[in-house]
Amino acid sequence: MKPYEIVKNIFIVGGPEITDSRDGCVYLINLEELVLIDSGAGWSVDKIIHNINSLKLDPQKLKTILLTHCHIDHIGGAPEIRKRYGSRLCIHKLDAPPLENGDPILTAANWYQTTFYPTEVDMKLNSPEEMMEIGGQKIICLHTPGHTPGSISIYLDKEGKRILFGQDLHGPLLEEFGSNLDDWDRSTKKLLTLNADILCEGHFGIYKTKKEVKDYIMSYRRQYGVE
């Protein structure tokens, strides 16, 4: 599958069917700078950059990388992309220590039989809801713990649509990740109230109507027995 534009100036540039089977989905927002949401598992940085170029966008403008949580399939490419383009790495403060320590369990690097080297974080998100404004576009980072303590979901309103980036909402919820079902219950409830039109998900792709988004979240709420 090739990278493509989901709505105007929002693209999918990586993921299991686009760059590498080990990658979580990688999304790109084209504002006056480029904002990357997650970065793949680390083996596909060249492919992600190739895809950005193929969309006629300039990777030199990759100034911000928002990391939805601390797992390798989402963070693996971030250090190399920062090295090349001077991007700032942003993650919630509760998910920063696994990156800073290169923790093989909490980053899930051991699952992927790789190493994530200790990596400094440039910006730690630290409130239930944090708003960034880039090129006049408001981007809201919601703290949605559950899968990991510092998981975030990101949303923005554009072209009359609310677009939600909710990676790994499906879990898994595992003790070794510090997952928490009560947190996850509250977080997914909060996400339902957003009434998003489009869900850009971490491994299964993109859900394109309010109903599909709601059904997707509800199916996991039933699966985890909170509905």
Which residues lie near Zn ion (CB under 5 A)? 24, 71, 73, 168, 202
Least gap, CB of 111 to Zn ion (angstroms): 10
Least gap, CB of 86 to Zn ion (angstroms): 26
**CB closer to Zn ion out of 161 and 171:** 171
Q: What 3-state class would DSSP assign to 156?
A: strand
- The residue ranges of DSSP E strands in the chain, in sequence order, are 4-7, 10-14, 26-30, 34-37, 62-66, 88-92, 123-125, 129-134, 137-143, 152-158, 161-166, 198-201, 206-207
Residue nearest to Zn ion (CB): 71
Q: Which residue has the tokens 């997707």?
A: 216
Q: What 3-state class would DSSP assign to 107?
A: coil
**CB closer to Zn ion out of 172 and 225:** 172
**CB closer to Zn ion out of 30 and 177:** 177
Q: For residue 90, what are the contacts with CB-CB under 8 A and spacing of at least 6?
A: 64, 65, 66, 67, 121, 122, 123, 124, 125, 141
Is the CB of residue 104 less than 8 Å from the CB of residue 117? no
**CB closer to Zn ion out of 73 and 183:** 73
Least gap, CB of 71 to Zn ion (angstroms): 4
